[in-house]
Amino acid sequence: MPVRVQAEDFDAGAEILALRRGNPKIGALASFIGLVRDVNNGEPVTGMTLEHYPGMTEKALENIVSEAQSRWDVLDALVIHRVGLLLPTDQIVLVVVSSAHRGDAFAACEFIMDYLKTRAPFWKKEQTAQGTRWVEARETDDRSAERWEKMSPASAAHRPR
């Protein structure tokens, strides 16, 4: 299963090893880890709670990974996203993509994160000294996702190798 939603922390090294072990076709592996910061919009953040839509979340993430696999030469991909209470420095999300060459791995990894930020049903509620507040969606995230829509799968496949 390339997609996991869990409260538990993850070990990126162990996950990467499990994904690449024994596959000599892999020449490149790109990974991304998102972390909880202690500040947002200039205000100190003491923690956050991640809510999601069980059932739809997994389906949305699987669709995003499938879309990445249809656009680039991806050998394997993994997405782990945590839910529940998280504190500053905690890991939130892991994306790992393996490919024959780095261009496909880099692009697919970034694409998965950009689409996850705008299409997967997760919501963050931050804790601050003033109380809790729901994080507002950012327009910059929409624009990051939109740039892939303008790029046809054919042109996207011709990234540097």
Partner 1 sequence: MLKLLYFARLRESLGTDSEAVELAPSVRDVAGLMDWLRTRGGSWSEELAPGRTVRVSVNLEMAEATTPVRDGDEVALFPPVTGG
Residue ranges that bind partner 1, judged by CB under 8 A: 34, 50-53, 55-56, 59-60, 81, 92-93, 113, 116-125, 134-137
To the nearest whole angstrom, how small is the minimum distance from the Cβ of residue 124 to partner 1? 5
Nearer to partner 1, 34 or 88 (CB): 34
Nearer to partner 1, 104 or 114 (CB): 114
To the nearest whole angstrom, how small is the minimum distance from the Cβ of residue 25 to partner 1? 29
Nearer to partner 1, 142 or 161 (CB): 142
- Taking the CA atoms of residue 107, residue 156, residue 144 and residue 45 in that order, the dihedral angle to the nearest 10 degrees is -10
Q: Which two tokens stand for residue 103?
A: 């261009």
Distance CA 79, CA 116 (A): 10
Q: Residue for token digits 């205000």? A: 43
- The answer to whether 133 and 125 have CB atoms below 8 angstroms apart is yes
